Structure 1
Amino acid sequence: MKRFLKGLKQSVPIMLGYVPIAIAYASMARQAGLSFGETVSMSVFVYTGAGQMSAAGMIAKGIGMFAIVMTVFIMNLRHIIM
């Protein structure tokens, strides 16, 4: 348990760095017309922040779901290298 708490304490600065990105995404998703549940679901199921941002922007422009899924998929291909 001590090791877990130590790790949690050490990870706080990294977690705080994600807060501004999360706020920006949530704002963008809500402006795109996504509900609270849809906004949270995208955060849970879409791996990258860039994918979330681009999907929200594409939804706001009325682009079809197939194009959105393919765009986010292609954007995430970069993770194969990692």
Structure 2
Amino acid sequence: MSSRCFTLALLIALATIAPSAARAQVYETAGIRAQGLGGAFVAVADDATATWWNPAGLASGAFFNGVFEYSRRDDTDEGTA
């Protein structure tokens, strides 16, 4: 039984240390309104994306809304030799 646990732990460890690609300009945030404000959304935080910016902002208002966002990642190698 311990060899199974060891093998499972080894497989999980090897799967999680896989290298990830470094990206120079990563700016992924929650909410298009917050992106439009340039990330200065902590003081406003009055919609469903408040959990990302300032969770205490959820207590300030009685609102019911949801967020659906779609973003397409462009993993390109522009400018690399």
User: TM-score, normalization: structure 2?
Assistant: 0.28
| TM-score (norm: length of structure 1) | 0.28
Larger proportion of helix: 1
